[in-house]
Structure 1
Amino acid sequence: MATTTTKTGQPLDRPQLDSLLRRRLFFTPAFEVYGGVSGLYDYGPPGCSLQANIIDTWRKHFVLEEDMLEVDCTMLTPHEVLRTSGHVDKFADWMCKDPKTGEIFRADHLVEEVLESRLKSDKEARGQKVEVDEEKEAKKKRKTKDTKAIKLDDAVAQEYEEILAKIDNYGGDELGLLITKYNIKNPTTGGDVLPPVAFNLMFQTSIGPSSNLAGYLRPETAQGQFLTFQKLLEFNQQSMPFASACIGKSFRNEISPRAGLLRVREFLMAEIEHYVDPEGGKKHPRFHEVKNVNVGLLDRKVQLSGRTEVTHMTIGEAVASGTVDSETLGYFIARIYLFLVRIGVDPKKMRFRQHMANEMAHYAADCWDAEIQTSYGWIECVGCADRSAYDLTVHSKKTGAPLCVRETRSEPLHIEEWQVDLDKKKFGPKFKKDGKTVEAAVDALTQDMREKLSVSLAQTGKIQVDVPGVGDGKVEIEKDLVKIEKRTKIEHTREYTPNVIEPAFGIGRILYSLLEHVYWSREGSEERGVLSFPPPIAPTKVLLVPLSGHSDFKPLVGRLSQKLRQLGISNRVDDSSASIGKRYSRNDELGTPLGITVDFQSVKDNTFTLRDRDSTKQVRSDEDTICAAIRSLVEGQKTWADVQEELPEFTQQETD
């Protein structure tokens, strides 16, 4: 378990947090009564509400703020689409197998796990403090071969550290060499593993009763957006740049899913495809709004040197220095940072890591991951990729669909170029069945080649063109069939294929990382866990607590509950016989940020106490004022400190 602390500086007790999350039904293993299936989880009521609130904030922060075009694309995708995009051939991870037990490992994770275990053992042998692994029961069952602390040679330990720093840059052959060189075995049995092989991560299916149309469950939401590009451009009145957005489920057949919600086979994604003119230097008109946002960057040069030091700089400095390639890429890195902070992620536990060359997706020109530090280590939660014009180009080439932008030039463009004219009446009879092939080869000639051939035509009266598949691969064309001249062409319109900047959010990973960041325990009461969600994100906003079961309290509680619902504020009533302190403590575990106590004073003068979850401080005022304060907190317009300044403090309640 990676070293991590809560917001109060306490060491994070992950088993305690996991127990809370499952006990309070934030999430639970799917099909558990049948033994469960690894990598599949169900969300319970608070988990559903938390996810919905994160998505709602995401929509406001991106779709609304950036005026994006939201679409909802189908999850079933024909084989041909994903073959064209490259996913059928290239969307894979490296896996290796223990031939004796049949156990499957993801190769990079296996190398990582074994080397980290050896480094931990080395620290123990040197008497250094080591974080205790929270999965004690699992460790008892998992009988590893190396149980004694083993001291490593300093040079070997340094090698391990450097390998771990760039683990994502290794391909299958390199991982195989590491496994051999460092004698990496099955951690459970000590048995040998076979060399890594590629495993495609997509779930394959068939579409229709005849099963003639092969398909997949989509591994990302992007392809549907690319294929509707032309319609979206038309909807946007041909205006560039613009962005589409899609929120929906994606599927990846993970090799060995572990780590709870962080590595699952079915997950919610929120993806943006921002289309930009490549000739404009990928500028962004609102870059000036974020240029002073300070972010932590881990670029590929640092990683390749075997280090993981993060450099903090403004995104303006990062773009100016070339660390981040363009304004648009930098703009979205900053906006991603601001979104994660807005929902409650600790900015001190966040970094942006640049992909290394071997790690880069087949479609990416550059990519930065927003990584969040958790007890599982640094977790990729958002990928911000420059996909260049890859997707639109390959789909257009395959289908013939014009996935491009055509715009009228402000001034006509005069272009001097070498043009080739063929005498079609003579050309056909001369080359017969090979005519179209030869013509295509001529049309494909570059400007430099056309210029050279024009000289040859003038001097010899003929040209020679490379035409694979026709004769010996070279075809001669006489001057009575062809004319090559330099002419001026006037273009009134410009046609280009946009480049795409793609921020892709893994909502489940963000949700779990957030849970770790907002979790802490009351001082002196480790069993009293608290989830400090920001009010806009919290699953339930307000707890209504009548002092007792007295009949006079019921109409007040009912009226408050109805009024809050009308304001769109989720609330729940706890009228159990437990003390007020215990009732509040139960809801601190659910992350409920605010509580209203209804007491006998409320019956007399219609005033109520409002409690803050984190500080347990209370203020008191009339019904309308309390509801207005709650609304301002839930909408993020005010903080509890603002409310405390405006309303009188109340100090007489809350006992266990």
Structure 2
Amino acid sequence: MDRDSLVAAVARQGALVRELKKNGGAAKDITAAVVILNDLKAQLNALAVEAVGPVLNKKALEDLLVRKMFVVPSFEIYGGVAGFYDFGPPGAALKGNLLNAWRRHFLMEDDVLEIECTNIMPEVVLKTSGHVDRFTDLMAKCTKSGECYRADKLVEDFIENLLAKNGSTMSSEQQEKHRLVATKAESLSPEEMHAVIQEYGILSPGHGAPLSFPMPFNLMFKCHIGPEGSHVGYLRPETAQGIFLNFRRLLEYNAGKIPFGCAQIGNAFRNEIAPRNGLVRVREFQQAEIEWFVHPEDKSHAKFDLVGDQLLTLFPKNLQLTTGKTIQLSVREAVKQKIIANESLAYYLARTSSFVKSIGIDMERVRFRQHLDTEMAHYACDCWDLEILLSSGWVECAGHADRSCYDLQVHAAKSKVEMVGTLKYDAPRAVELVNIKLNKGKIGKSFKSDMAIVNKGLEALSVDGKAALSFEAALAATGSATLKVDGREFLFTRDMWSATKVTKMMSEEKFMPSVIEPSFGVGRILTAVFEHTFYTREGDEKRGVMSFPPIIAPIKVAILPLSTAKEFTPVMQQLERELRSMGIQTKSDASSVAIGRKYARVDELGVPFGVTIDFETGTDKCVTVRERDSCAQMRIPLAKISSILKSLIEGTLTWKELSKTYPILEAKKEE
């Protein structure tokens, strides 16, 4: 079986396993499905890693990033803490330039609003959004060191090692029993998990000490607001919730017009059990998110025609389950064929593709993968991940989701604050509505202390006309119906509740908007930029180069006097003043090292252009300009150099175009 076929087979089998677990399938069936899945994964892993683009010297890159202080471990002098990193001067500048480019590309283009919300959120917000419950895993502590481990991973790793070492001496029944335990580990209760750990004699990996009783652990960082300590809060696990909470004010600020978008760039915090792969999985990370609010029945985009002919590399769910191959399709055709759910979602996929190309990502190593049905959240309509091929494999770097109206709906229901838009009709029209009548006295007497949860279910019916009519049909047919709320059931009788269709003449429509969400992991995007732009000079593997596009390069121009002679200083200072006054990041190197060494230094920092002041500058009033990647040089008058560099950096002039005016000098060996 070839790689593409294996990729599809793994996707199909993985979807089957998730479906079996979700629906409470028989243990025997789950075990058999997992055995097949593991075998397929083993076959896939046995094949050579996909060879796309140049081979990365990862050790050389990692050394450069730390040595030049792009990214360094936090708290390094105290031994560091996993999952935390600091950005040094070039890293901070690179990230700042990338985010400014992101703002120009997405926010300015579509007049998207931007807000900044607090990092700490009260518990009620994240309880309502589902994060408090959804971010919980069972943890076990090492009784010697106090180090915490994710319990299900301990069990899975232990059994995997056990089968690898002793599987050949076990019967198929014994192997099946062990695999079933590993398969069920993530769904075990604390008591069941403890029993498994005791049965297998699992000890802490670090010290070989006994483990504590497993306990639920929320991956969010918990804190207490105020001196009393009674007001629970959390460091936010995402930036999106702040936008949803401010929707009412944002809509008012936007004069009530929908569609509109709001963005937020900020830090999020997740107490990852096993941080890894540098900036890919960390405990504090930066997100750049947009929430684009649209009418739920009109998800067209006013600028769709501008991107309609753009080609995207798509990995739709049907191909993941069949051929395992991607396809190239125009944005317009993808929407027409209903591969991408709607124009707004497709628009942002296209804009994201253009953005990552502009910051130096190799588009041969980019694809948009659609979530399988078994992966999608229950409230989502369609989801696509921007995946970039890194040295560790395909990595999700940005998500694009049609989140429906879930977030606004749950916050409106909990807060009792209306979160709706208004669509004014050109002329009054007949509209069918669902009119609900409640017998509050009867309901209150029947459910008493459970009224809070019952009201939650009734509120859901009040905003979902189809569900209300379905509930009414059940009442009409049998005289009773069961209201299901959060896993509980409440029996309603005919005299408690009723719903009828009514027709009214309306001049406007109130609606709860759907949300299209592009969400970018800044650290992951930066990792892709590092890997895709790094290379070493041919024949000199020790000379690393970061080929950042000028738009994001932390330093745009290096001024490099050929000598430490005093007569070079006034020219260097004049150039610095001119370039910095234009907003161009500039670095000078007036040290006594050879010019080749100076070039090597700035190449490692990704500086796209170098300006050399030499002994002829004083007489011919010209300097030598060097382009980083080609090492080509040309002689340009001092009077014009600043404006030319500005044009090169902004992309209004190319190096090739410039060479028509100023010829390339004969190549010299850089020493």
Q: Please say if 1:514 is aligned against 2:529.
A: yes
TM-score calculated relative to the size of structure 2: 0.77
Residue 236 of structure 1 is matched in structure 2 by 254
Give the counterpart letter for 2:352 in structure 1. I
Give the counterpart letter for 2:101 in structure 1. T
Where in structure 2 are the equivalents of 1:304-453 lying within 5 Å? 304=321, 308-361=324-377, 363-415=379-431, 446=468
Deviation at 1:331, TM superposition (A): 0.9
Residue 275 of structure 1 is matched in structure 2 by 293
Deviation at 1:639, TM superposition (A): 2.5
The change in CA–CA distance for 1:451 and 1:35 in structure 2 (over 3 A counts) is closer
Q: Please say if 1:222 is aligned against 2:240.
A: yes
Deviation at 1:573, TM superposition (A): 0.8
Deviations 1:395-423 (A, max 9, x none): 0011111111023221212246786889x
Residue 505 of structure 2 is matched in structure 1 by 490
Q: Contact conserved, 1:201 with 1:253, CA < 8 A, in 2?
A: yes
Return 103-112 or 80-89, whichever deviates more.
103-112
Deviation at 1:211, TM superposition (A): 1.1
Taking the aligned partners of 1:374 and 1:172, their CA distance within structure 2 comes to 28
Q: Contact conserved, 1:599 with 1:608, CA < 8 A, in 2?
A: yes
The change in CA–CA distance for 1:193 and 1:559 in structure 2 (over 3 A counts) is same
Where in structure 2 are the equivalents of 1:456-535 lying within 5 Å? 474=493, 476=495, 488-535=503-550
Deviation at 1:352, TM superposition (A): 1.2
Deviation at 1:200, TM superposition (A): 3.0
Q: Contact conserved, 2:561 with 2:568, CA < 8 A, in 1?
A: yes
Deviation at 1:173, TM superposition (A): 4.6
Q: Contact conserved, 2:117 with 2:242, CA < 8 A, in 1?
A: yes
Give the counterpart letter for 1:285 in structure 2. A
Deviation at 1:335, TM superposition (A): 0.8
Q: Contact conserved, 2:624 with 2:634, CA < 8 A, in 1?
A: yes
Residue 312 of structure 2 is matched in structure 1 by 295
Residue 139 of structure 1 is matched in structure 2 by none
Q: Contact conserved, 1:355 with 1:367, CA < 8 A, in 2?
A: yes
Q: Please say if 1:104 is aligned against 2:149.
A: yes
Q: Contact conserved, 2:436 with 2:500, CA < 8 A, in 1?
A: yes
Residue 303 of structure 2 is matched in structure 1 by 286
Alignment root-mean-square deviation, CA: 4.5
The change in CA–CA distance for 1:601 and 1:171 in structure 2 (over 3 A counts) is farther
Taking the aligned partners of 1:171 and 1:287, their CA distance within structure 2 comes to 46
Q: Please say if 1:536 is aligned against 2:551.
A: yes
The change in CA–CA distance for 1:610 and 1:107 in structure 2 (over 3 A counts) is farther
Residue 460 of structure 1 is matched in structure 2 by none
The change in CA–CA distance for 1:27 and 1:448 in structure 2 (over 3 A counts) is closer
Residue 205 of structure 1 is matched in structure 2 by 223
3-state secondary structure, aligned to 1:552: helix
Q: Please say if 1:38 is aligned against 2:82.
A: yes
TM-score calculated relative to the size of structure 1: 0.79
1:255 to 260, 273, 280: 273
3-state secondary structure, aligned to 1:549: coil
Deviations 1:540-595 (A, max 9, x none): 01111111011111100110111000111111111111111111011101111100
Residue 6 of structure 2 is matched in structure 1 by none
Deviations 1:318-374 (A, max 9, x none): 222222111111111111111101100110111111223443346533221111111
3-state secondary structure, aligned to 1:51: helix
Deviation at 1:24, TM superposition (A): 0.6
Give the counterpart letter for 2:186 in structure 1. G
Deviation at 1:601, TM superposition (A): 1.6
Return 102-111 or 324-333, whichever deviates more.
102-111
Residue 82 of structure 1 is matched in structure 2 by 126
Where in structure 2 are the equivalents of 1:538-557 lying within 5 Å? 538-557=553-572
Deviation at 1:599, TM superposition (A): 1.1
2:186 to 172, 175, 184: 172
Q: Contact conserved, 1:328 with 1:501, CA < 8 A, in 2?
A: yes
3-state secondary structure, aligned to 1:388: coil
Q: Contact conserved, 1:349 with 1:373, CA < 8 A, in 2?
A: yes
Residue 591 of structure 1 is matched in structure 2 by 606
Deviations 1:69-105 (A, max 9, x none): 0000111001000000011111356878999997735
Give the counterpart letter for 1:77 in structure 2. M
3-state secondary structure, aligned to 1:373: strand
Taking the aligned partners of 1:429 and 1:248, their CA distance within structure 2 comes to 48
Q: Contact conserved, 1:170 with 1:358, CA < 8 A, in 2?
A: no
Deviation at 1:302, TM superposition (A): 3.6
The change in CA–CA distance for 1:271 and 1:449 in structure 2 (over 3 A counts) is closer
Deviation at 1:652, TM superposition (A): 6.7
3-state secondary structure, aligned to 2:429: strand
3-state secondary structure, aligned to 2:535: strand
2:591 to 553, 576, 580: 576
Taking the aligned partners of 1:188 and 1:484, their CA distance within structure 2 comes to 60
Higher helix share: 2
Taking the aligned partners of 2:445 and 2:645, their CA distance within structure 1 comes to 79
Where in structure 2 are the equivalents of 1:152-163 lying within 5 Å? none
Where structure 1 has 5 or more consecutive residues not aligned to the other structure, the ranges are 119-143, 151-162, 164-168, 457-462
Taking the aligned partners of 1:194 and 1:503, their CA distance within structure 2 comes to 41
Taking the aligned partners of 1:639 and 1:264, their CA distance within structure 2 comes to 38
Give the counterpart letter for 1:587 in structure 2. V
Deviation at 1:253, TM superposition (A): 0.7
1:61 to 88, 101, 105: 105
Q: Contact conserved, 2:612 with 2:623, CA < 8 A, in 1?
A: yes
The change in CA–CA distance for 1:315 and 1:18 in structure 2 (over 3 A counts) is same
Give the counterpart letter for 1:19 in structure 2. D
Residue 580 of structure 2 is matched in structure 1 by 565
Q: Contact conserved, 1:25 with 1:47, CA < 8 A, in 2?
A: yes
1:266 to 250, 266, 284: 284
Taking the aligned partners of 2:498 and 2:314, their CA distance within structure 1 comes to 57
The change in CA–CA distance for 1:449 and 1:559 in structure 2 (over 3 A counts) is closer
Q: Please say if 1:635 is aligned against 2:650.
A: yes
3-state secondary structure, aligned to 1:645: coil
Residue 128 of structure 1 is matched in structure 2 by none
Residue 603 of structure 1 is matched in structure 2 by 618
3-state secondary structure, aligned to 1:627: helix
Q: Contact conserved, 2:469 with 2:500, CA < 8 A, in 1?
A: no
3-state secondary structure, aligned to 2:297: helix
Deviations 1:99-127 (A, max 9, x none): 99977359689979999xx9xxxxxxxxx
Deviations 1:137-166 (A, max 9, x none): xxxxxxx99799x9xxxxxxxxxxxx9xxx
The change in CA–CA distance for 1:28 and 1:466 in structure 2 (over 3 A counts) is closer
Q: Contact conserved, 1:99 with 1:194, CA < 8 A, in 2?
A: yes
Taking the aligned partners of 1:278 and 1:312, their CA distance within structure 2 comes to 28
Q: Please say if 1:619 is aligned against 2:664.
A: no
Taking the aligned partners of 1:218 and 1:605, their CA distance within structure 2 comes to 60
Residue 133 of structure 1 is matched in structure 2 by none
Taking the aligned partners of 1:589 and 1:311, their CA distance within structure 2 comes to 36
Give the counterpart letter for 1:491 in structure 2. M
Deviation at 1:475, TM superposition (A): 5.9
Q: Please say if 1:646 is aligned against 2:661.
A: yes
3-state secondary structure, aligned to 1:245: strand
Give the counterpart letter for 2:135 in structure 1. F
